[in-house]
Amino acid sequence: MLKEKINHIFFDLDNTLWDHRKNARLALKKLFDNHSLADKLNVDFQGFYKCYYNSNESLWDKLRDGKIDKTYLRKHRFYDVFIDFGFNDFELSQTFEEQFLETIIEFNELIPDAREILQYLSEKDYVIHIVSNGFQEVTYRKIEGGALGAYFTTVTSADEVGVRKPNPEIFQYAVDIADAKVEESIFIGDDWIADALGARDFGMKSVFLDLFNQNPYAEGVLTIKELKEIKQIL
């Protein structure tokens, strides 16, 4: 248990509570079949998904680091994958992008123990918040679709602030609208750079959810492997 008094808990959303990886894969499989991409790209879904995953992770890293903007990511997320398979159809890639944002919210798988932990923390009278780097147009719909809204007092989307974690401005914005004190707050997230180091460097207590056993280490960051371990902390 933390010795310090904690009143406010700030969570990342995607892949911390809402299982973006699983929901994205389900959405992509549906769209892959609907658009007959196996024939157009001459690849099976597993090959398509692997290429998409690597490309998408790289784009999001660049977005986080300020090297590209949201518009660039949305234009290139699927177009670059199509090009990798020798299929040059920009219009279809943009249709695919639009449909992806609509389709992903049809699926609402959560990270194991997410609802249990939120209920546990709520019953202990912690004030719970979301700070997400995801797109604003789907962030709130993910929360609604996952039936999570009742747990959160505030929701901060990076698009609202104009910067993304680990930029300290987004943490400051979230703390301000929550009417919270940094020293009485803790941040829990799955992204080592954006969440764990970003929150620590801002001055918050920081917890890294290491679902994939990356096993990084930095002073001032507590690592857990499963959400249920939060019960040992708070």
Percent of the chain with pLDDT over 90: 98
CA distance 98 to 105: 12
The CATH code of the domain at 8-19+110-232 is 3.40.50.1000
**Dihedral sign, Cα of residue 136, residue 138, residue 144, residue 146:** negative
Residue extent(s) of CATH 1.10.150.240 domains in the chain: 21-106
Q: Does 7 have pLDDT greater than 80?
A: yes
Rounded average pLDDT over 214-223: 95
- Summarize pLDDT for 90-136 with one digit per residue, the tens: 999 999 999 999 999 999 999 999 999 999 999 999 999 999 999 99
pLDDT confidence of 224, banded at 50, 70, 90?
very high
Q: Are 12 and 60 in contact (CB under 8 A)?
A: no
Instruction: Establish whether the linkage from the previous residue to 168 is cis, with ω within 30° of 0.
Output: no
Q: Does 3 have pLDDT greater than 70?
A: no
Q: Does 149 have pLDDT greater than 90?
A: yes
pLDDT of residue 1: 65
Residue closest to 21 by CA, chosen among 48, 45, 57:
57
Give the tokens for residue 26: 């389900």
Q: Does 19 have pLDDT greater than 70?
A: yes
Q: Which CATH superfamily is domain 21-106 in?
A: Putative phosphatase; domain 2 (1.10.150.240)
Q: Does 148 have pLDDT greater than 80?
A: yes
pLDDT of residue 137: 86
pLDDT, averaged across the chain: 96
pLDDT of residue 129: 98
189: buried, middle or exposed (CB in 10 Å: 19+, 13-18, 0-12)?
Answer: buried
SS3 186: strand
Q: Does 194 have pLDDT greater than 80?
A: yes
Q: How many CB atoms lie within 10 A of CB 120?
A: 16
Beta bridge partners of 128: 9
Residue extent(s) of CATH 3.40.50.1000 domains in the chain: 8-19+110-232
Give the predicted TM-score (pTM) of the model: 0.94
Q: How many CB atoms lie within 10 A of CB 215?
A: 8
Strands of the 8-11 sheet, one edge to the other: 154-157, 127-132, 8-11, 185-189, 205-209, 221-224
- Summarize pLDDT for 35-83 with one digit per residue, the tens: 999 999 999 999 999 999 999 999 999 999 999 999 999 999 999 999 9
**Dihedral sign, Cα of residue 192, residue 194, residue 197, residue 199:** negative
pLDDT of residue 4: 77
Residue 157: partners with Cβ closer than 8 Å, 6 or more residues away: 132, 134, 135, 136, 139, 140
